[in-house]
Structure 1
Amino acid sequence: MTAAAPSVAASVFGHRAFAFYWVGRIVSILSFQMLMVAIGWQLYAITNSALDLGLLGVAQFVPMLLLTLIVGHVADRHDYRVILLVCQIGEAIAAGFLALGSAMGWLSPWSIYAVVVLVGAARAFEIPTMVAIIPALVPRPLVPAATAWFTSANQAGQIIGPVLGGSIYAFGPAAVYGTAIALWAVGVCFIGMIKMERPPCSADPLTLRSAFSGFRYVLRDPVIFGTIALDMCAVFLAGLGTLYPIFARDILKAGPEGLGLLRTAPAAGALAMSIVLARRPLTLPIGRVLFTVISVFGLFTILFGLSTHLVLSLAALAVLGAADAVSVVIRFSLVQLRTPTEMRGRVSAVNGMFTGTSNYLGDFRAGAVAAAVGAPFAAVLGGAGVFLVVALWLFLFPQLRRIRSLDEVPKPP
């Protein structure tokens, strides 16, 4: 650790707007993680079906896919804070519906899917806005460090949320949903306290051309496209989140508390790595680092699939989470630093669509494969597929492999 490292964190959090944003992000992701733990366990208890768990991913993906062209344009033309407030209030209302249905006993699988679609629609606007706002909160030289702290906020919420959700579930799903609502209220308060100058807005009207401009920008830049697509393919093949209830109940015999631990472990590894990166930015050639950590992600996915012991499974998830955190920081930093201010919302929306594709359709892939061959083999197949993707990307995107430092990233016009 260098002597200058603590000053990086001090500089980032010296900007009060970023500090409020960071706390708001933690409680928002905390609420969402609690929500998904309760939904996953409740749905599996009702249907006992791996495929039904996979459909949760589809329910989140569909609104994100349908809204991608709109959300980026909205983010580039409207106040980031207002978008975030509306989204978080909407998610809290959806959680209220789940709480009411659970308490009164009329909640069905299809009503759960309907609520997840609504939450997915809100997050389709929230996620790209959360990313696009970062350069408006800190100076350009602090964007990589702020991005690392943003990632740490995500992981902190993912660590605490599943454990808290799994523990509170002992009092019933309605208790989990009610707690999530209260936490979303806290997040709304902190986001509402952000004071910032609105960055230059796009003057483009909403047309097909402007709607697709984010896609065109990404496709023209092989570094941005290669980075985003690499992450999408790796997580699509190796993402296992929707299978955690199966591993917790049927393989590891760990119950809902074990489910919370499984969902927490990747976030714990990612949080530790994010804090390291926030305090001590990468100095190794980042192109090579990116391909290395994606390979590590695949390797430890295979190890998790082969494990029948809770401790070993948690360790494997922690390592793959740490590897994913490095990939996220590199990807988000490259996208933000290489994108003009007036395009950040649309490019972030495209990034979010790629991420959502990998997460949500990856959940469906995992559920479908697990229904056919079992959860452990589904994990092993996915991890092996990551190595094939890395080999292909090394050939297709030599520019990405040659990037040495984020400091070398050219400032967008």
Structure 2
Amino acid sequence: MSTHGKLLLRHHRPFLAFWLARVCTASGFQMLTVAIGWHLYALTGSVLDLGLVGLVEFVPRVLFMLHTGHVADRYDRRRIAALCQGAQALIAIALVLGSASDAVTREMIFILAFLLGAARAFEMPTTQALLPSLVPAALFPAAVAASASAMQAATIVAPALGGLLYAFGAFWVYVPTALLYILACALMLGLPNHHVPRKAEPATLHNLLGGIRFIRSRPDIFGAISLDMFAVLLGGATALLPVFAKDILLTGPWGLGLLRSAPAVGALLMSFWLARFPIERQVGRTMFISVGVFGVATIAFGLSTSFWFSLLVLAILGAADMISMVIRGAFVQLETPDEMRGRVSAVNGLFIGASNQLGEFESGVTAAWFGTVPAVVLGGAGTLLVTGLWMKLFPTLAQRDHMHRPEAERTD
């Protein structure tokens, strides 16, 4: 194990507790999503309802975007995160009770999905802003990679576990999900408090928009966030995987499951590598190369007619995306003052969420217009075009060497 990894594990027990909390919440959410989807479809038999429940979960992120960051900067971040995790535990408990009494309805699921989205809307920027206070700046890139590995591991394992447990009934998924959220809540409350909340300020529009103004005033941060948004928006092919599995690669549901897991497997392996060997130099160039590889892998997947080659390029796609995410996540947090991290993370989270949702919509529209394969190939080519354009528009980002510039190098 590298020196960075040993330091994180031996001397930063708060980070280990934070990491375990992330594993619990990510696993709980993945299991809950699988169970809610199956439960809703069993109740209504409507494919449209499956799409609507995802939209309902996303709406709170838009509605509360300005307030989530303000809350993360204004109050104790540990307690805010724990409160959000406690709320998600209560949602799972409500589904436990409803399942036990056979009282779960379509309307109940939509209401709980909205509340779940609201809790996650406040939790995400709070936990992102909390991490920098738990480890020294020198170890932060490794910490980001290790934290991201929790999400990827949950993405691979938890849905399969949730599906397996659902075979015994929805009740048997909701109970362990509630326990996972309760454990995460306890771990979060046990973290040390290094964050000094801002003095009481009214939630004026000026204060709420502080994160947007800060991002716009920092070309490197704005360039990195917008690059990721457009890359995912254009290059995302996830929504079209069922078409590839059935009509192009000629596999069954098992093949679709493997295709969905492949990017997460690549991302998880890369997160382990980055946690052991963090990127410390030429971070700008490395980020642009990784986004370019993401675009090339998207094109290769679109043109592939081999199932195993498709799995390989999807794993490469996930690994490249992880490199970009770790670099962006690390230097954005390091370059943002602690009192602004909540609001900046809220804006960043909205960009990421919007790109994922709109990316699926864009893939569906272009596939309807041009066909499935041309849609994916055009999306990958668009990602490469954006990468080249962003290198011209944000030269300081492309030339950036370190994650965190010394004060003497700053011009602002």
Q: With the length of structure 2 as denominator, give the TM-score of the two structures.
A: 0.87
Q: Measure the CA separation in 2 of the matches of 1:65 and 1:229.
A: 17
Q: Is the 8 A contact 1:248 1:259 kept in 2?
A: yes
Unaligned 5+ residue runs, structure 2?
none
Separation in structure 2 between the aligned mates of residue 253 and residue 101 of structure 1, nearest angstrom = 37
Could you say which residue in structure 1 is the equivalent of 2:139?
Answer: 142
Q: Which moved more, 1:204-213 or 1:293-302?
A: 293-302
Q: Does the aligned pair in 1 maintain the 2:56–2:114 contact within 8 Å?
A: yes
Specify which of 233, 237, 254 is matched with residue 236 of structure 1. Answer: 233
Whole-Å separation in 1 of the counterparts to 2:35 and 2:301:
23
Q: Is the 8 A contact 1:158 1:263 kept in 2?
A: no
CA–CA separation in structure 2 for the residues paired with 1:271 and 1:191: 23
Corresponding position of 1:12: 8
The aligned residue for residue 299 of structure 1 is 296
Q: 2 CA distance for matches of 1:342 and 1:163?
A: 39
1:193 counterpart letter in structure 2: G
Q: Give the superposition deviation at 1:75.
A: 0.5
Amino acid aligned to 1:393: W
Match of 2:91 in 1: 94
What displacement does 1:102 show? 6.0
Aligned amino acid, residue 359 of structure 1: N
Cα displacement (A) at 1:239:
2.7
Tell me the distance in 2 between the aligned counterparts of 1:171 and 1:309: 35
SS at match of 2:376: helix
What secondary structure, in the 3-state scheme, does the structure 1 residue paired with 2:2 have?
A: helix
C-alpha contact (below 8 Å) 1:166/1:259 kept by paired residues: no
* Structure 2 CA distance for partners of 1:279 and 1:170, relative to 1, 3 Å: same
Is the 8 Å Cα contact of residues 72 and 345 (structure 1) preserved in structure 2? yes
Whether 1:126 and 2:123 are equivalent positions in the alignment is: yes
2:291 and 2:320 in contact (8 A); partners too: yes
Structure 1 residues 267 and 25: CA distance shift in structure 2, 3 A: same
Deviation for aligned residue 1:190: 1.9
- For 2:84, the aligned partner's letter is C
Q: 2 CA distance for matches of 1:249 and 1:96?
A: 37
Counterpart residue number, 1:395 = 392
Cα deviation for residue 374 of structure 1 reads 6.3
CA 181–233 in structure 1, closer or farther in 2 if over 3 Å, else same: same
**Bigger CA drift: 195-204 or 273-282?**
195-204
Q: After TM superposition, give the deviation of residue 171 of structure 1 in Å.
A: 3.4
SS of 1:204 mapped into structure 2: coil
Q: How far has the Cα of 1:92 moved from its partner? A: 2.6
Q: Which amino acid aligns with 1:389?
A: V
> Which of 210, 213, 218 is 2:210 aligned to?
213
Deviations 1:314-333 (A, max 9, x none): 32222111111111111111
1:383 alignment counterpart: 380
Aligned partners of 2:45, 2:159: CA distance in 1, in Å?
21
Q: What is the one-letter code of the residue matched to 1:93?
A: L
- What is the rounded CA distance, in whole Å, between the counterparts of 2:345 and 2:272 in structure 1? 23
Which residue identity lines up with residue 9 of structure 1 in the other structure? Answer: G
Aligned residue identity for 1:157: A
Q: What aligned pairs does 1:149-188 form with structure 2 within 5 A after superposition?
A: 149-188=146-185
Give the Cα separation in 2 of the matches to 1:178 and 1:246.
34
Alpha-carbon shift at residue 228 of structure 1 (Å) = 0.4
Shift of 1:405: 2.1
User: Secondary structure of the equivalent of 1:404?
Assistant: coil
Q: Deviations over 1:159-179 (max 9, x none)?
A: 222232333343344433333
Q: Percent identity?
A: 48
Q: What are the residue-to-residue correspondences of 1:327-338 with 2, within 5 Å?
A: 327-338=324-335
Which amino acid in structure 2 is aligned with residue 343 of structure 1?
M
Maintained 8 Å contact 2:239/2:363: yes
Which whole-Å CA distance do the structure 2 matches of 1:38 and 1:242 have between them?
A: 20
Please report how far the alpha carbon of residue 71 of structure 1 lies from its aligned counterpart in structure 2 after TM superposition: 0.7
Spell out, residue by residue over 1:288-326, the C-alpha distance to the aligned partner (whole angstroms, 9 max, x if none): 211111122122223334445553333222211111111
Deviation, 1:203, is 4.3
Kept in 1, the 8 Å contact 2:75–2:197? The answer is no
Instruction: Find out whether 1:117 has 2:114 as its counterpart.
Output: yes
- Name the SS of the counterpart of 2:202 in structure 1: coil
Aligned length: 406
CA offset digits 1:322-380 (Å, max 9, x no partner): 11111111111111111111111111111111111112332343455556666555434
Equivalence for 1:342: 339
Change (3 A) 1:183 1:307: farther
Amino acid corresponding to residue 127 of structure 1 in structure 2 = M
Counterparts of 1:160 and 1:172 in 2: how far apart (Å)?
A: 19
Q: CA RMSD in A?
A: 3.0
Deviation at 1:242, TM superposition (A): 4.5
Structure 1 CA distance for aligned equivalents of residues 237 and 201 of structure 2: 40
- 2:360 pairs, out of 360, 363, 375, with 363
Q: Is the 8 A contact 2:95 2:104 kept in 1?
A: no
Unaligned runs of 5+ in 1: none
- 1:398, distance to aligned residue in structure 2 (A): 1.4
2:68 to 55, 59, 71: 71
One-letter amino acid of the counterpart of residue 6, structure 1: S
Q: How far apart, CA to CA, are the structure 1 residues paired with 2:33 and 2:192?
A: 31
Of 287, 292, 312 in structure 2, the residue corresponding to residue 290 of structure 1 is: 287
How many angstroms apart in 2 are the aligned matches of 1:273 and 1:161?
A: 19
